[in-house]
A and B are shown apart, each in its own frame.
Chain A
């Protein structure tokens, strides 16, 4: 009995999948896509670029940086494209004066919150924060600089962590948990005092969970995590495809 009914059941599934295809508009373009995807994924598939800092294909999206904010018609609030799922009939715009203004403001806030001094930074020239600032025309910051003096963690044999350059995107936390499975990094503290911590806020070099794989270093968008011994401007990050990495590991994509 089960054998007989198997084929029609599959057919129904396929048909219902087709029926479930949804249509939406992004920046005026009509797009047909499958439900369950985020607006960011669909936009990128269509060749529409939305600026992001925390989202990485292959890692869980957490909506931490808010750079991917978009406008959805009929919704007063700006929504993060990396976490909001597409819906049929949505009318999305990814570029507007208002969005540009807020994106710039987010960058300005990031720049003033910690010490992003490109001139002496190990990642200058290969930094996503720097690139975005250039792209979006951030020339100065109207807010007061906080100039924190956070201790650099140079205890690891091969890597160095400078929280003064961290934008708390949590990419390192997620790649360590979701891909390496070591769970070394976490966010400690609250609000403005939040920071990346290794294990239970221990020196990175003394961490028992860290496998020294270096994935966090490669995925970090700024100079906060870097290879030790590199001079100013010498840290270039490997262009990694986490989705492929997951596939190689046989994990879900």
Chain B
């Protein structure tokens, strides 16, 4: 069997390697994303006080530290067995929504828009945010401004944009001041307007990518995400729901502590990332997808006016049921950004938004805690056990890229089968495989390669291990 290796994947956060496995006829019959870094967070957390977990786990990712802070703090709330004060809850939500906005802006405008706006076959030297700046200056500048807005909110309310610390076990460190609230409120209309304009543009783009839509991880699978009790999109504190490829709900109302009854975790020798699957279907048939697309597929509605309007249009894409092609991730991200901005505004305008009681204090009251939140890239699960003194004895983290792991491989295979043939690889085909990976926006570890092209190394290896063909991009 011959192997094509794409290493490293560009414009993905972290480092991954892709191998395409050819059979003797030169047909791709397997595709694998190898995550070969061991970061060992779960291991080195052992013996540490639970109060340190939010800060430790926030280091898993420099793009979405807030999601880890939130999931971790929620797991700690669970250990303390407290219900956090309402104002603290609202502040956490605002920061979490701001995080969604900034991360989606990064993913869409900085990382994916070069492919969408300039085309897959554009010269790699131009296919980056600077290329977009040249051709669509408004859009690129607006995207950068949108990300900045989200980050400023995080910085205001949680202390620091890269490693914020304001979200703590029991609630928030500081309440919000009137000045902070007003400053954030001022930035919302412009951001909303920009996201709406981008959505219109995105709809037009779809027609130019019919091939990609058909082949970008367009296959039946389950979808998972959290929803509110009423079925609305809920990023901060929903229950898990699974829907199948027909859009039917197959499991619903799964509270955080029960996730293990529904999600199994398989391991494979060639990757350090585990393979979660939906238990009732077994492994690997229980493949499911998480993230913006999955969330819109599982939710009944967004619950905010503009986002609901956009969602309605989105529902018609794949015949009204669930959107199956991961290509739609891009649009889903914009709809979520719209939702996040609207929801933020509602929370900021709450009559008790400035209430100073934002934190509950308590010691160790339970020896186990689970915290679930929807990170920009999908469901994030933090699960800890502690000894009676509050030192971690065991930890399990399931990140979005983990949930999507089976689906990413499946998606790459699908594209490779269509665009890769024999022992020669065209630049555009190579980039399409990568683009599938990028559509999932995997956060393989934590470094951003937001700008430009990273060196790309592709090898085609014959059955005897000889290099048949090699493509290098510097």
* A interface, CB within 8 angstroms of B: 119-120, 122, 149, 151-152, 154-155, 160, 162, 205, 228-234
Q: Are A229 and B165 in touch, CB under 8 angstroms?
A: no
CA distance A204 to B59 in the complex (A): 31
Q: A152-B49, A154-B49 are in contact. Are A228 and B363 (CB under 8 A)?
A: yes
B56 close to A (CB within 8 Å) = yes
CA distance A30 to B446 in the complex (A): 57
Q: A120-B56, A154-B391 are in contact. Are A231 and B51 (CB under 8 A)?
A: yes
Q: Are A234 and B55 in touch, CB under 8 angstroms?
A: no
Q: Are B389 and A155 in touch, CB under 8 angstroms?
A: yes
Looking at chain B's contact residues, is the secondary structure mostly helix, strand, loop, or mixed? Answer: loop
Q: Are B391 and A232 in touch, CB under 8 angstroms?
A: no
CA distance A232 to B361 in the complex (A): 15
In the assembled complex, 20 residue pairs joining A and B whose CB atoms fall closer than 8 Å, in A order, are A119-B55, A120-B52, A120-B55, A120-B56, A122-B51, A152-B48, A152-B49, A152-B391, A154-B49, A154-B391, A155-B389, A160-B49, A162-B49, A228-B51, A229-B361, A231-B54, A231-B168, A231-B173, A232-B51, A234-B168
Q: Are B54 and A232 in touch, CB under 8 angstroms?
A: yes
B274 close to A (CB within 8 Å) = no
How many A-B residue contacts, CB cutoff 8 Å?
51
Q: Are A231 and B169 in touch, CB under 8 angstroms?
A: yes
B16 close to A (CB within 8 Å) = no
Shortest Cβ distance from B450 into chain A, in angstroms? 22
For B48, the chain A residues whose CB sits under 8 A away are 152
For B387, the chain A residues whose CB sits under 8 A away are 154
Q: Are A231 and B47 in touch, CB under 8 angstroms?
A: no
Q: Are A231 and B165 in touch, CB under 8 angstroms?
A: yes
CA distance A151 to B163 in the complex (A): 26
Looking at chain A's contact residues, is the secondary structure mostly helix, strand, loop, or mixed? Answer: loop
The answer, among A120, A122, A229, A231, for a CB contact under 8 Å with B363, is A229
B390 close to A (CB within 8 Å) = yes
Shortest Cβ distance from A219 into chain B, in angstroms? 21
Q: Are B173 and A232 in touch, CB under 8 angstroms?
A: no
For A122, the chain B residues whose CB sits under 8 A away are 51-52
Q: Are A232 and B165 in touch, CB under 8 angstroms?
A: yes
For B49, the chain A residues whose CB sits under 8 A away are 152, 154, 160, 162, 228
Among residues of B, the one whose C-beta sits closest to the C-beta of A160 is: B49
Give the contact-size bracket for chain B: 20 to 34
Shortest Cβ distance from A222 into chain B, in angstroms? 15
For B165, the chain A residues whose CB sits under 8 A away are 231-233
Shortest Cβ distance from A125 into chain B, in angstroms? 10
Among residues of A, the one whose C-beta sits closest to the C-beta of B363 is: A229
For B361, the chain A residues whose CB sits under 8 A away are 229
For B168, the chain A residues whose CB sits under 8 A away are 231, 234
CA distance A149 to B163 in the complex (A): 25
Shortest Cβ distance from A153 into chain B, in angstroms? 8
Shortest Cβ distance from A233 into chain B, in angstroms? 6
Among residues of A, the one whose C-beta sits closest to the C-beta of B167 is: A231
For A149, the chain B residues whose CB sits under 8 A away are 47
Q: Are A228 and B390 in touch, CB under 8 angstroms?
A: yes
CA distance A120 to B387 in the complex (A): 20
Q: Are B52 and A232 in touch, CB under 8 angstroms?
A: yes
Q: Which residues of B in the span 123-182 have a Cβ within 8 Å of any Cβ on A?
A: 163, 165, 168-169, 173
Shortest Cβ distance from A158 into chain B, in angstroms? 9
A interface footprint on B391-433 (CB within 8 Å = 1, 0 otherwise): 1000000000000000000000000000000000000000000
For B52, the chain A residues whose CB sits under 8 A away are 120, 122, 231-232
Which 5 residue pairs across A and B have the least CB separation, nearest first? A232-B55, A154-B389, A231-B168, A120-B55, A120-B56
For A233, the chain B residues whose CB sits under 8 A away are 55, 165
For B391, the chain A residues whose CB sits under 8 A away are 152, 154
CA distance A155 to B51 in the complex (A): 15
Q: Are B55 and A230 in touch, CB under 8 angstroms?
A: no
A interface footprint on B352-383 (CB within 8 Å = 1, 0 otherwise): 00000000011100000000000000000000
For A232, the chain B residues whose CB sits under 8 A away are 51-52, 54-55, 165
Shortest Cβ distance from A118 into chain B, in angstroms? 10
Among residues of B, the one whose C-beta sits closest to the C-beta of A155 is: B389
Among residues of A, the one whose C-beta sits closest to the C-beta of B54 is: A231
For B51, the chain A residues whose CB sits under 8 A away are 122, 228-232
Looking at A119, A122, A154, the one whose CB has the most chain B CB atoms below 10 A away is: A154
Shortest Cβ distance from B394 into chain A, in angstroms? 16
The answer, among A152, A205, A228, for a CB contact under 8 Å with B47, is A152
For A151, the chain B residues whose CB sits under 8 A away are 47
Among residues of A, the one whose C-beta sits closest to the C-beta of B56 is: A120
CA distance A119 to B59 in the complex (A): 9
CA distance A149 to B55 in the complex (A): 19
For B362, the chain A residues whose CB sits under 8 A away are 229
